[in-house]
Structure 1
Amino acid sequence: MDLVDGNFELREIQKLHGHTDRVWSLAWNPATGTGDIPPVFASCSGDKTVRIWEQSSSSRSWDCKAVLEETHTRTVRSCAWSTSGKLLATASFDATTAIWENIGGDFECVSTLEGHENEVKSVSWNASGSLLATCSRDKSVWIWEVMPGNEFECASVLQGHTQDVKMVKWHPTMDILFSCSYDNTIKVWAEDGDGDWCCVQTLGESNNGHTSTVWALSFNAEGDKMVTCSDDLTLKIWETDVGRMVSGDDRTTWSHVCTLSGYHDRTIFSVDWSREGIIASGAADDAIRFFVESKDGLVEDPIFIFLKLNLV
């Protein structure tokens, strides 16, 4: 399918009601939506709850199957499923991260992670589900090791950022962690071989990075490109040599490819890169924009095209 030349529509299929305050984050369960397993996603909100939504196989409508409540005492800011889809992690402004498991059809909080001094802003599982990362307004990033019996042990506390850390995200295939912050930078973290985690690269203004708060990041399916979004009204594309990363070459770095500017006129809070290659960005200007990489073989450097989609 040629996304650049195609004529596409985005059609609203259903509006879901239930939360009584703003919805902060959504997360698809990666173990659903294939074969006979209906798709499932989680939503978290300022109303201190998490809702589990499932699509009916017969009517195709979405229904709320569970409300996870009375655990967090403040806004639930972020949620993420483990790769297996068995565990759901939720991060809250109450400075805790809760781990939920579906047991006999009911979701139970099986562990509560404490340690951050204040609001936990984001949570992310690594590809194997053996590590969990959290970040906070306290400027720190915590890495948790998953132990038997749903126990979690803090493996490292990363202190490189100088301001509020907005998001953490694991690389899709390797145990390399990325964090973005109010200090205008993205930091890349890796384990040094002796069990210690350290910052191996900082992407900032000095290497064509953002000039204001970096709110979010996302990877393409192959893991060799990354998109970031910022308060500076831009999206930036970064790339690396995944082959060298896999071989363990510690000189592998991420470099700036291009900057997408002029598409939003207020802070860009969210960005996601789909498995089909579409980048979607959402901003405070109430707009969602879509981009795709041009596959023009005559052009050596990647070019990203703005997609004009009809909203129905």
Structure 2
Amino acid sequence: MTTTTASPSIDDPPARAPTTTTTAQTTATLTRLPSFQPELYTRAWSSIPHPTLPLIATAHAKSVTVYSLATLSKHSALTGGHARSVRTVAWQPSRGGGGGSGGEQQQKSRGSGNQRLGLVTGSFDATAGLWSFDGDRDRPGGGLEREVRMGGGDTEEEDGGGEEDDKEWEFNLVLEGHENEVKSLAFSPGGQYLATSSRDKSVWIWEDVSAGGNGDDGEEEDEWETVAVLSEHDGDVKAVAWCPSHLSNARAASSRRHYSHDVLASASYDDTVRIWREDADGEWVCVAVLEGHGGTVWGLQWETKERSDDRFPRLMTFSADGSIRVWTLKVDEEAERLEAEEAAAREGNPFRTGFGGMPNTMRRSPREEWECTAVLPKVHTRDVYSASWSADTGLVASTGSDGIVAVYAEQEDGTEGDNSDNSSGAKSSTWKVLSTIPRAHGPYEINHITWCKRFDSGAERKGKEEMLVTTGDDGIVQPWQVQVQ
């Protein structure tokens, strides 16, 4: 992160701060679990859990360390692909996965029934790299999925002291085009598109055009081409995120039909967030600009828990102004009704297009109206670098340069409060702080926080219950047990 603090001596380990909880009607207790091993002893930027397997990938230095969530120890490592530090990482969904979300995809291995593991890395060297895991090829009796679910990767004795870790991951392809470091990257839910953002103020959208082709060695070849360069931000683009596409309700499906299936959001140093969609001509256009933050928007996340009110997913943003905001798409009920009637009347029309079913000469302007419907209670005193929205419980966790970890809960109250707005048609709610932990990594800044499933021996319901994982400048990847009372 751009904000720095004095680095304590390496001989002075971070203090293990006690847990503190609020005195509200609902509280949460965060218990520090054993940290992932080995510790990295260098600044770590983020840790991204695999959507289906018990693995989590941590970006640090010029490499990525993949840890097992079952053993809380090293599974494998990616090294040698970048000339400078790896800033960000994302797991690759399966090819041709259609509209399923990344969490629903089962990544198949090349020509076998095993899973194929793929990662993309973004680096300060201005490139993105595509990797695949080949370490399960020579392992008898079940390959990757069996090996991972039984408890994680090779031991140091088995792999000759770590050299084999590098050989297990193959660096397949480098994507070049950005002028400065790649800040963020994300795959669309079906895996067709990859979005990358950079300090050069641009967002690039790449399309997978591999089409299942094989190289001379019989392996699938990675082939990606640039389909859009979005340059409307006035500052560094800190983060990109695709809206999940697992929604099944009719209202959300109707909203998506107006434009394209995939929806992308980007956050910037210019204090704004932009929403992007693909129009009928295949052009990616900005359909909304979200303004309200008073500082750099460090990141964003789409709501992944399906809503009971049939509304389009909300968007959470977090900023250098210390705030966390929730944005809601305004729904024009009358326009939706008229469009539904028009679509029904045009059924079978040979001139019907994919853009809301309208002929080219009758298209709506691709604009959307979003509004800030909640500002979470103020906790952070400095930049909020990261926040994560649980797909299971709807709880939000946040952290940042002040070293605080906070957990929040949303409670529907049926009334209009200070941090709610009913003009979007959404149910009114309030957010409450359940728990805060100061100095969660001692004196070090915390760069990332995420919810992920527990698979370790201490979990009562492996693969079901959630934990938090924080990643900091101290090089520690720290899991936390979360208990809500």
Q: Is 1:266 matched up with 2:382?
A: yes
Question: Quick check: 1:92 aligned with 2:123?
Answer: yes
1:233 matched to which residue of 2?
A: 322
Q: Distance in 2 between matches of 1:154 and 1:91?
A: 16
Q: In the alignment, does 2:307 pair up with 1:293?
A: no
User: Is the contact made by 1:189 and 1:198 (CA closer than 8 Å) also made in structure 2?
Assistant: yes
**Under a length normalisation based on structure 2, what TM-score does the superposition of the two structures give?**
0.57
Shift of 1:123: 0.5
Distance 2:329 2:269 in 1: 24
Tell me what 2:429 maps to. Answer: 302
Q: Does 2:274 align with 1:187?
A: yes
3-state SS of paired residue (1:303): strand
State which drifts further: 111-120 or 95-104: 95-104
User: Where do residues 149-188 of structure 1 align in structure 2 (5 Å cutoff)?
Assistant: 149-173=221-245, 174-188=261-275
- Cα distance in structure 1, aligned partners of 2:375 and 2:188: 28
Say yes or no: does 1:41 pair with 2:56. Answer: yes
C-alpha distance in 2 between matches for 1:161 and 1:124? 18
Tell me whether 1:215 sits opposite 2:331 in the alignment: no
Q: Which has the larger radius of gyration?
A: 2
Asked whether the equivalents of residues 411 and 430 of structure 2 are also in contact (C-alpha less than 8 Å), the reply is yes
Q: Is the 8 A contact 2:320 2:383 kept in 1?
A: yes
Of 66, 79, 88, which residue of structure 2 is paired with 1:69?
Answer: 79
* Residue matched to 2:51: 30
Task: Tell me the SS of whatever aligns to 2:282.
Answer: coil
2-side partners of 1:44 and 1:283: how far apart?
17
1:55 deviation in Å?
2.9
Unaligned runs of 5+ in 2: 1-23, 93-101, 108-116, 137-167, 211-220, 246-260, 307-311, 341-355, 357-363, 417-426, 438-479
Q: Give the C-alpha shift of residue 239 in structure 1.
A: 1.0
Q: Structure 1 residues 117 and 48 mapped into 2: Cα distance closer, same or farther (>3 Å)?
A: same
- 2: CA distance between counterparts of 1:107 and 1:267? 35
Do the aligned partners of 1:280 and 1:289 also contact (CA within 8 Å) in 2?
yes
One-letter amino acid matched to 1:43: T
Q: How far apart are 1:172 and its partner, in Å?
A: 1.1
The answer to whether the 8 Å contact 2:288/2:367 transfers is no
Please list the CA deviations of residues 220-271 of structure 1 after superposition, one character each: whole Å capped at 9, or x if unmatched.
Answer: 2235211111111111111125896xx8584543211022253110111111
User: Is contact 2:377–2:433 with CA below 8 Å preserved after alignment?
Assistant: no
Report the Cα offset of residue 5 of structure 1: 4.3
Structure 1 position 6, deviation (Å): 4.1
Residues 73, 260 of structure 1: alpha-carbon distance in 2 compared, 3 angstrom cutoff: same
Structure 1 residue 23: deviation in Å?
0.7
Query: How many Å apart are 1:309 and its aligned residue?
Result: 6.1
| Residues 1:15 and 2:35 aligned together | yes
Whether the 8 Å CA contact 1:231–1:267 is kept in 2: the answer is: yes
Secondary structure, aligned partner of 1:257 = strand
**Distance in structure 2 (CA, Å) of the matches to 1:124 and 1:71:** 19
Q: Which string of whole-angstrom CA distances, capped at 9 and with x for unpartnered residues, describes residues 262-305 of structure 1?
A: 31101111111111201111111110111121023455522111
Counterpart of 2:294, as a letter, is: T
CA deviations on 1:87-108 (whole Å, 9 max, x unpaired) are 2111000001011111243221
DSSP 3-state at the match of 1:172: coil
With over 3 angstroms needed to count, the CA separation of the structure-2 counterparts of 1:188 and 1:122, relative to structure 1, is same
What is the CA RMSD across the aligned residues, in angstroms? 2.3
Range with bigger deviation, 292-301 or 110-119: 292-301
Query: In 1, Cα distance between the equivalents of 2:432 and 2:27?
Result: 14
Q: Are positions 1:55 and 2:69 aligned together? A: yes
Counterpart for residue 113 of structure 1: 175
Q: d(CA) in 1 for partners of 2:230 and 2:69?
A: 39
Q: Quote the residue 1:36 is aligned against.
A: none
> Cα offset for 1:146?
0.9
Superposed displacement of residue 141, structure 1: 0.3
| One-letter amino acid of the counterpart of residue 80, structure 2 | E
CA contact (8 A) 1:9 1:309 kept: no
Distance in 2 of aligned mates of 1:111 and 1:5: 52
Is there any run of 5+ residues in structure 1 with no aligned partner, and where? Answer: 33-38
Residue equivalent to 2:191: 129
Contact 1:224/1:241 (<8 A) preserved: no
Instruction: Tell me, in whole angstroms, the C-alpha distance in 2 between the residues paired with 1:194 and 1:284.
Output: 43
The number of residues matched between the two structures is 293
- Residue type of the alignment partner of 1:167: A
